[in-house]
Structure 1
Amino acid sequence: MNAPFPRHDLTGLEMEDSRFTVPGMRCAGCIAKIERGLNELDGVESARVNFSTKRVAVRHQHILSQADLVRVMEGIGFEAQPAAENPMALDDLETKALYRAVAVAGFGMMNIMLLSISIWSGAGGVTRDLFHWLSALIAIPVVAYAGRPFFSSALMALRHRRTNMDVPISIGVLLATGLSAYETLVGGQHAYFDGAVMLLFFLLTGRALDTAMRNRTRAGIGALLSRMGRSATVLRPNAASMTVAAEDLEPGMVMLVSPGEALAADGILLEGCTTFDNSMLTGESLPVSSGAGEKAYAGAINLGHAVKVRVTAAASRTVLAEIARLMDEAGHSRSGYVRIADRASQLYAPVVHSLALLAFAGWMVSGAGWYQSLVIAIAVLIITCPCAMGLAVPAAQVVASGALAKQGLLVKDGSALERLAEADMVHGLTITSSPGSNPIAPNATMRPDVHELTQTECLILKY
């Protein structure tokens, strides 16, 4: 969203970053409304939405509390709550409900299609009416249950005097079901229960695939954070020890790190000498020797002797947590193609509603009758969803960032993925390699004239 939001002069004020989960986001229009509402708030420097993880990152003045930001989002129609540090800790009730809706819609679609075959083959009279009634008995409960994700989102949007992509979808499905019920009651020739339920099934399947993609993206961040120790043995001044959860550790505490244990916080070795596996930070597979006074990082595994480590940073302030934040921020960035898709998607709801109304009025004026005019208006509402345009581009960006993260490459700005296609040289890379390993990608070659550089290598990437 690149609308010219008003910017406030926050120079010299103490700023902080907050993150929120907003499960009610459904489309690019939702993203625009959230970002616009937050950016217009006094004390907010910037607000960015990551649709794939359904998170909002807000940089704001310190005196502006998270509760204030939550109230603003609720005021524009979105329930929000502070995000958990580990994105895998998010409640999966919505995901399970979505999968159940897909199963119900699939069951209803297949059975209604079986009944529709006879009607399509020319069955009429009592047989046609009977199959219409059987289809209605299946379709109406299926639409009422499987359509809830769309209906609840559309209702919430309308309550707050806004629209989203679920509004025309809900109107189209409900009108198709209602028109089919009317045709069944009066013994008409045509009913569209199969089309309404099939539409729900495919829309829900697409939403389920999108949810699965977002879960895989979050899994990459969660897997990184899982490398951090969940608790630590803390030594008290009286030499007694106690187990403290990682989130309760504070700078100045002294941890006793046993062999094979992963550090729960960043710190400095007080005494002893050991070796650490720092591969999650540096990519270096060989153990690194560390002695008194040297730094140790959360997630590093002690491969040597038991050592004492004084905590310097814990929980969200560790280097490992900062890397996870960079991975998350890659999904908040806006590339050029994302901005184009966002601007186009904002026009969707008003344009589609206007087209459907014009189609209905035009066919009525031409003498087609209310029934035919309504069928055409419903078709306009159903076939014009731009979800692929508004959501596919940011989804591809986030999935690519997650895939690169699994290969050890962190993407801080999504626009870099677009610019990479135009690059023919990458330089200034600091490379850590082990004997027998090849840190250079198979499709890259080393320039022999710069091979004498110590740690900085220049690569020519061949495409």
Structure 2
Amino acid sequence: MAAIERALAARADVEEARVNLTLRRISVRPAHGSTSLKGILSELERIGHPATLIDAADLSLESGDRTAQALLRAVAVAGFGAMNVMLLSVAVWSGATGTTRDTFHLISALISVPIVAYAARFFFISAWGAVRNGRMNMDVPIALAIALAMALSLFETSRGGEEVFFDAAVTLTFFLLIGRYLDYRMRDRARSAMTGLARLAVRGAVEVGPAGDLREIAVDQVVPGMRLRIAAGERIPVDVRIVAGATDLDRALVTGEACPVSVGVGDEVEAGALNLTGPLDAVALRPVRESFLARMMQMLTTAEAGRGRYVRIADRAARLYAPLIHLLALVTFAGWMMATDDWQRSAFVAISVLIVTCPCALALAVPVAHVVAAGRLMADGILMKDGSALERLANADRVVWDKTGTLTTGIPGLVSLPELDEASRTAVAALASRSAHPAARCIASRFEGAVEPLEAVTELPGFGVAAVIGGRRARLGRASWVAEIASDRAEGDGPAFAFEGGCMLRFPLEERLRDGAAEAVEDLARMRLPSEILSGDAAAVVARVAGRLEVEETLSEMSPADKVARLEALRKRGVRALMVGDGMNDTAALATAHVSMSPASASEAGRAAADLVFLRDDLRAVPLALSVARRTGRIVRQNFGLAILYNCVAVPLAVAGLVTPLIAAIAMSASSVAVVANSLRLSRRRTAPATAPESLLGEALA
């Protein structure tokens, strides 16, 4: 990853390059004015990493299956060779001498050479590509160790020597391939969230022509405004608006809920939703590259691209690995030569040192954990836009909430209806139905039946609705405005209604809390994260919501600049704030905060500024994301602990000559698999987050 990114970053036509290890993909942002990728592809070819352009909408990962199959075939071939060479070695170990021993050595060579050439080609090709371009990678010492073991054995066979290592070389290749295959499959499981999304991607769509004729087209040919036909049992190809038909949809991809949702004309539906019961005609809203499903894919592909503190540590360690381990092997060889004057024994120990060191566990410590965590969050409807966001979220120590649209739904609820006679009831229903104001809609929803016709209807923005009903003027809206025609002024909150010369009636409203708001604040408090509310609303309104949520700290009548200033002040105090907001006015605050989250119902700008986006309306997604982030941090530290502990134990044993190449291969592969398996624990659901700190060694041993 580091070699590719450094090589591309050095080019004038590249502004930024990021490598995704798990998905084996490179995202390149060309420099301003550059349109050709030919030079970039040539550079990747030169440094030994040939690349192929892929369509951004192409979600398939089929090449991974071919690699896994090739590795499995190599494992089978190496296993077959190892069994046969071991059988021949038994005779030599049993005391065969002279011509019999030399014959068995020769047969072992005839079996081992083609098998090692075929099965170990993964290591040889990778190592040669690195060395040819003046670099080192983790396969260089492995390839060197296997080649040295084979070369020593062929030399001894040619001169009739007593000791050969064909059995060790072939069995070494066998166990190294087992480790490589298991590591590959477990990383494939780690990206299961991505492959799950890939299976939801629709490859084609059915266009409805002007005359009603149907034509099948590729999904990347769909353009906004095109009319599409979606049959029952098919998935929605792109984001659409329904123009004909009604059906039930499985929107579990979006909401995480398994219950079907009924939709009809005028409803907007996201790409990837499953049409369950009836055919639909719909108009495409966005091309496939900009669809909901594509945006989810893009968020997942960046899951391990963040450059947090742990990633930088791993990068530095991996950069030092190759020169240090080759120098250590050389020093080990020289030391054993001086001590024993036995070059074969010295080479054998040096081979073990080359094999036993394991940089892959260190390299996998962060990215695999981040990819598994991203899949775990996505299963609960939380999308992560940057892998470093997990690290920042785990370090958050305070939650700053926007109120309207975040803690509350932004839609008022009517607390109670005043006592109304029939004339007033009819008048209120008629006036409320004439306005699009949220408060008027809330009042209108409490009345059913026919609406009486009105005369001289007028709506004054900021005041309310007025009309003539039965020859009398009537108003519904702001209390001070309604009081101008009423005989009195009723105390209380909320909109008011009155006939001219009649008594004023009040309709008390209160904001509805978003689902899970109280539970989220309570859960965060248990996780030692205090909450505060920043809102542009009046102090009394903010205080009522804070009282219902038991939030003590509030700041009201805050402008967007005030919110940014507050977050900057918290940062200067050393507070790492998690900002949760949704509106256009929260965009700057979301970008300023240490880490930020936004609901899917937020404005486009708000979603773009946030580090994480949760798709459900339930605010319990916030403590859930924090819990997963903290678990991910612990898993990463455990992975580092495992890798360090392994190398601290294995390398001295190998230098002391207590580890054979075969045992070294098993141990090295096992350490990589252990790191990946430890990361996969993140996919397990837990009911409550653990908050007690654990020591690094305790976590590693656990």
Deviates more, 1:233-242 or 1:220-229: 220-229
Query: For residues 97 and 330 of structure 1, do their structure 2 counterparts lie closer, same or farther at Cα, with a shift above 3 Å needed?
Result: same
Partner of 1:64, secondary structure, is coil
CA contact (8 A) 1:424 1:462 kept: no
Partner of 2:17: 47
Partner Cα distance (2:117, 2:517) in 1: 55
- Pairs within 5 Å for 1:63-462: 63-84=34-55, 85-90=58-63, 92-303=65-276, 305-364=278-337, 368-418=341-391, 456-457=619-620, 459=623, 461-462=688-689
SS class of match (2:16): strand
Asked if the contact 1:228–1:265 (Cα under 8 Å) also holds between the matched residues in 2, the reply is: no
1 CA distance for matches of 2:524 and 2:7? 49
Render the CA deviation track for 1:71-115: whole Å, top value 9, x for unaligned. Answer: 221122210011352132436433322211111111222232333
Rg larger for: 2
The structure-2 alpha-carbon separation of the partners of 1:403 and 1:121, relative to structure 1 and needing over 3 Å to count, comes to farther
Q: Which amino acid aligns with 2:235?
A: A
Q: Mark the CA change 1:400 to 1:115 in structure 2 (over 3 Å): closer, same or farther.
A: farther
Query: Is the alpha carbon distance of 1:364 and 1:327 closer, same or farther for their aligned partners in structure 2, counting shifts above 3 Å?
Result: same
What is the deviation of 1:341?
2.0
Checking the alignment, whether the CA contact within 8 Å between 1:213 and 1:399 is kept in structure 2 is no
Aligned partner letter, 2:49: F
Change (3 A) 1:91 1:397: closer
Mapped to 2, the partners of 1:353 and 1:279 lie a distance apart of 52
Structure 2: distance between partners of 1:40 and 1:300: 43
Distance 1:462 1:233, change over 3 A: closer
C-alpha distance after superposition, 1:296-320 (max 9, x if no partner): 2212233454332111213222111
Over the matched positions of the two proteins, sequence identity in percent amounts to: 44
The one-letter amino acid of 2:48's match is G
Shift of 1:333: 2.6
Q: Deviations over 1:190-249 (max 9, x none)?
A: 211122122211221121112212333444323223324433221222332212222221
Q: Deviation digits for residues 130-163 of structure 1, max 9, x if unmatched?
A: 4333322222221111111111112222222222
Which 10-residue stretch deviates more, 97-106 or 80-89? 80-89
Counterpart CA distance in 2 for 1:122 and 1:223 is: 57
**Structure 2 CA distance for partners of 1:408 and 1:126, relative to 1, 3 Å:** farther
Per-residue deviation, residues 366-390 of structure 1 (Å, max 9, x unmatched): 6715444433433332333422222
Q: Which residue of 1 aligns with 2:632?
A: none
**CA shift at 1:278, angstroms?**
1.8
Q: So what's the TM-score if we normalise by structure 1?
A: 0.80
Match in the other structure for 1:18: none
Deviation at 1:264, TM superposition (A): 1.1
Match of 2:29 in 1: 59
Look up the match of 1:22: none
- Closer/same/farther in 2, CA of residues 446 and 333 from structure 1, 3 Å limit: closer
Q: For 2:517 and 2:269, how far apart are their aligned partners in 1? A: 24
CA distance in 1, matches of 2:20, 2:408: 31
2:679 maps to none
Change in 2 beyond 3 A, CA 1:174/1:138: same
Deviates more, 1:216-225 or 1:47-56: 216-225
Relative to structure 1, the CA distance from residue 350 to residue 236 in structure 2 (aligned partners, 3 Å threshold; closer, same or farther) is: same
SS of equivalent residue, structure 1 residue 308: strand
Alpha-carbon distance in structure 2 between the residues aligned to 1:231 and 1:238 = 21
Aligned residue type for 1:72: E
More off after superposition, 107-116 vs 246-255 = 107-116
**CA positional deviation for 1:407:** 4.9
Q: Hey, what's the Cα distance between the residues in 2 that align with 1:232 and 1:240?
A: 14
Aligned partner of residue 265 in structure 1, secondary structure: coil
Q: Deviations over 1:417-458 (max 9, x none)?
A: 5566667888868899xxxxx9999xx969898669995457
- Give me the CA root mean square deviation: 3.6
User: Equivalents in 2 of 1:257, 1:53: separation in Å?
Assistant: 31
Output the CA distance in 2 between the equivalents of 1:218 and 1:459: 24
Q: Could you tell me whether the CA contact under 8 Å between 2:242 and 2:280 is conserved in 1?
A: yes
Q: What is the DSSP-based 3-state SS (H/G/I as helix, E as strand, rest coil) of the residue aligned with 2:61? A: helix
SS of 1:226's equivalent in the other structure is helix
Partner secondary structure for residue 48 of structure 1? strand
For 2:360 and 2:280, how far apart are their aligned partners in 1?
55
SS for the counterpart of 2:210 is coil
Structure 2 residue identity aligned to 1:66: L
* TM-fit CA distance, 1:67: 2.5
Deviations 1:14-52 (A, max 9, x none): xxxxxxxxxxxxxxxxx1110101122224332111112
Question: What's the secondary structure of 1:163's corresponding residue?
Answer: coil
Question: 2: CA distance between counterparts of 1:414 and 1:213?
Answer: 19
Aligned residues of 1:53 and 1:214 also touching (Cα < 8 A) = no
Cα pair 1:234 1:254 within 8 Å, conserved: yes
5+ unaligned residues in a row in structure 1: which ranges? 1-30, 433-437
Number of corresponding residues: 428
CA-CA distance at 1:322 after TM superposition:
0.8
Does the Cα contact within 8 Å between 1:225 and 1:320 map onto a contact in 2? no
Moved more, 258-267 or 143-152: 258-267
Change over 3 Å in CA distance of 1:87–1:333 after alignment to 2? farther
Partner-residue secondary structure (3-state), 1:57: strand
Q: What letter matches 2:43 in structure 1?
A: V
Q: Does the C-alpha gap of structure 1 residues 78 and 119 become closer, same or farther in structure 2, counting only changes over 3 Å? A: same
Is the 8 Å Cα contact of residues 306 and 389 (structure 2) preserved in structure 1? no
Distance, in Å, in 2 between the alignment partners of 1:360 and 1:156 is: 26
CA distance, structure 2, for counterparts of residue 407 and residue 188 of structure 1: 64
Q: Distance in 2 between matches of 1:344 and 1:109?
A: 34
Which sits farther off after the overlay, 191-200 or 120-129?
A: 120-129
Once the two structures are overlaid, the 10-residue window that deviates more, 187-196 or 296-305, is 296-305
Query: Which residue of 1 is the match for residue 695 of structure 2?
Result: none
C-alpha distance in 2 between matches for 1:139 and 1:109: 8
Q: Indicate conservation of the 8 Å contact 1:154/1:170, yes or no.
A: yes
- Counterpart-to-counterpart distance in 2, 1:153 and 1:446: 48
